[in-house]
Each structure stands twice: as C-alpha cells, then as structure tokens.
Structure 1
C-alpha cells in the first residue's frame, strides 16, 4: 500500500512541475488585522486603512475541468525572502488599486511572489498520496455553495483573523464543518457538501505562528531603532526624511503577521499550538491540492 501511494505522489509531482520564476518589488495597502506586539498607534492606522479598502470583487475565472486520476491546474510557485526588496511606500500608495480585493497589500505581495495562481484540483487518491508523503491535511468550510465554487475557480481571495491576512483552514474536519453552518440550521448532507478537503504539498514551506512572531518582533525592533536614529537627527536631510517615511510604511505593512509571512516567502503558518481550533493560514494557494 505504501508503495502504491508513493507511486501516485510521484505522478502528482510530475504533473505539478517545477517551481516557477521568482518575482520582486511590491505595492498596495494595510488590512485591518494587526498582529500582536504592534503599538497602539500602528493598530489604529491599520484599522483606518482597512475602512478605505475596496470592496471584494465577485468576478472569478472559469473552473478548470477535472480529469481523474491526474491532478490538474497550477504549477507550485516557491516563494523567496523579499523583506529587503519591497517598496513599502509604494505598497501604501497603491492601496486603492481597483483590481485588488479587500486585502490589497497582502494580495499584491502574493502577486509579486507568484502566489496568486489557482489551486490544484486533485482526486481523493491524489490528496491521500500527498498526505501520506508528509503533506498537511486541511479542511475549509463555506457558508454558501457559490463561495466554495469561487474558491476553487479562483482567484483565491484572502480573509483576515487573529493570524493576519490569508486563507484560514483547520486540520480538524469538525471545526471546518462548523463554518459551513454557524447557525446550525442546515442538514448534515448540506454541510458536508460545503466542506473542502485539501492538502499542502509535502515540500511546502511551513512555519509556526510562534516562530514567525518571534522573527517579526526582531525585524520590527530593528525598524524602530532606525526610526529613532533618523527622528533624533538635529538637521535631517531630504534623503533621511524619505528614509524615515519609508521605515514608517514598512512598520505599518509588517504589522499584519500574514504580510510578514508572505513577504518572507512562507507557504503557510501553522497556528495549531496557539489556537484551540488548531487553525492554519495558507499564504500561497498554489501550494494547495483541493480534493474534488
């Protein structure tokens, strides 16, 4: 049995192909969910920007045909560290970009990483093989059938929550099932029809929420140190003032832990050791296999 699963996963890897080219630089806005450890001033600025973010767009691509037993659709794009390449001031200036949804900063960084491609639709056998090879099994529930269909067809629009911007999911099926019917008025068959089983690729880049927060704290501490140095200058030059405002924009952008994770090139954040529902946040939809 183990040999069969390994063979299936080898065929899945062949179809998925090699990682696509890296991207660089960035543009967009700051969403509403500031992560822990950020100053009250930053949190207020993040909330203010979110109120001005454009409404979520409803146009979606046509869902690709599924032809079992071969996985179809996207090529996995492996991210890289863009922390020192992103133009954070451009991110802030572009927050009203019409083509983006409710989390434009996050979506633009996804685009620059190449994470804005479609999910990969797969059979149950292929998802089983991915999980057996070490891929993380995840579940996601949808309140309406159209939301599930839009997720599969793409583009995958991020949401927000305690772990910042991204696509929330849980390794616990019962947790995801709850999100299909929070009011508990639907029958079990309807709820199960709105549940997606998926898996991260076995070679996906995964970090824990605790590790990412610790790393981000060090980054923001360094940014704060640089801000103080410029602010305390007796007669700052034009270049120093430009640097000061760029650092402020960087501090605001990285207030969202999801922003920080996607800038660093992670595919997903494992928050299971922090939250009772063991929630994960997927930053790179191209790393997902969706069972259909």
Structure 2
C-alpha cells in the first residue's frame, strides 16, 4: 500500500475552533494506515505561515492543507508549494487556484441575517438604531460575505439605513474585539436597538463580554459565527444577548479533508469549492434541548 504524508498548517493553536479542526484531522488521518500527518502552527502570523509552507515544501509532503488568516499572502504560500508540485487544499480562507474546503460564507451570512430579522421584527417592531459589524481586515471578499450578506438580508427585512452600520476590525481575537467594542457601545449609550454581528467565535465572545461590562444586555442582540463549546454555553444563558450562531462543525472538517485527500491521491480531480454543512443554533433551540 502506497503511503502519503499530509502537511497541515493550522490557523492558530490559541483558538478553540482551529484547535478542533486540527484535532478532527488527526483523528481522521489515524484511521488510514497509509496516511501520516505533519501539523504546524501558523499562529495567525504571516512570516510563520511562510516558513511553515517552506518546511512542508522541504519535506516534499504529498498534500498541503493550508489554514491561514491573511488571504493576501495566499499567492506566496501557493508559489512555495507549487515549486515542489505539491497540491494544496485551503481551509476556510481561500487561496486562488487551489481547492477550497470550508464555510459557504454567503450562506452563513444569509442565515444570520434571517435570524436577526425575525427577532427584530418580533421584539423591536422592526427597528434597528445601529449595527456593529465585526470583521477581519486580512480576509477578502469571499470570507467577508458572512458579514456583508448578513447586513444585506437584515436591511431587506427591517428598517435599517446602511449608513448606520459600523465596521470594526477584530483581529480575529477576543481581547482586541473587547477593547474595540466597549468605546463604541459607550458612544451609543442613548440607543435602544443595537445589533452586533460576530465574525467568528472569538470576536463574538469578546463582544458579549464588552456588552456585559458596559451593562447593555437589554439593548443589544448578537448573532455569532462558527461557535464551538463556549459559544453554545453562552446561548444556554437566558440572560445572554446572544440570539443565535452558525455551526460549522469543526469536528467534521478532518473526515471531509481526508476524503478529499484520498481522492487526490487516487488521481481524481476534486471540485474547486467544497463546503461544510451549515446549521444555525438559536437560543430557543438550546432552551428546548
């Protein structure tokens, strides 16, 4: 039986979601005796990601699975690996001219926007004073769709002026989100109907902490993206302003990625876009569980 080595450079070993992705990949690879796995941590740092790509190229792995936050350096990562003719699957943040596996961001945004619109129409008579959209400046149009589509769908169903949407960069981390959301909420202290759109679980949890610290739980509603255990725990709290979160099931990434890898190793062409199943978990669903 021919053996293959898969190289995986992970987004960060400090974020629950990407840790879960790496763990699921380790479990999936372990089920196949002809596969071995090398895992490296990109640490959400460009120089580290480039060095990791070079390490995989030097090892001459049979497949590189790349999960890195900065979409702008995707061509550099690709070129390093292409120099050794190593095929690439990009995870969640697309790299041009590679196969993609991850979130359908437009659909994730659409689902978030619909949940918000239904709640706002039912509880705030369709009125929204401001939307705080938490984003990540290192990703481009494809990933931004999860926020842009949420704003678009919300504006189609409620009384929202798009000039009342404020975008802030989360840095993809909890603490920076917390530090940036607090002053915004303090400036909006007189407003009664504020919507917050989280970019990922880390930014959503940071925003939730900021809301609690400034005492705005009764005036703010939040929808998150990509929740894992911590986000679902917040949904279970009846006093939390978190209304819903999309679930990308990071524990399922590994098996999907290994299936794509096996198809590549068998000489098949795999689709350019491969999406994880999406679900929305709401406060009401958790309460019924």
Q: What is the TM-score of this pair, normalised by structure 1?
A: 0.30
- More strand by percentage: 2
- More helix by percentage: 2
**Higher RCO structure, 1 or 2 (CA under 8 Å, sep 6+):** 1
Q: What is the TM-score of this pair, normalised by structure 2?
A: 0.30
